[in-house]
Amino acid sequence: MATDDMRSGFCSLCGGDEVHEAEMAGQLGLRKPGGLLMKVNVFTVLVCTGCGHLQWHVPMDEERRDWLRRKTPRVRPRPPQR
């Protein structure tokens, strides 16, 4: 599982250094699983042109952070499986 932040300029999957930044915009939005929410949002998308792996980043402010904490389930950290 990829955990490295590709904003460093390196792909978190293949380790390549051909990471490009784009924006994704459209009728989509963050929602809790199974919920319904349609909203125009802009997300930063980082794409490795070597292997095609990508990461999405959401602009985070206090309002969005508060909404996420109240409305979506938290994924609790687990020890790595061996």
Q: How many CA atoms lie within 13 A of 9 on its CB side?
A: 1
Verdict on whether the full-model pTM lies above 0.85? no
Q: Report pLDDT digits (tens) over 20-39.
A: 999 887 665 666 666 655 56
Q: Classify residue 76 by burial, with Cβ atoms within 10 Å: 0-12, 13-18, 19+.
A: exposed
Hey, CA dihedral for 59, 60, 62, 65, is it positive or negative? Answer: positive
Confidence (pLDDT) at 37: 58
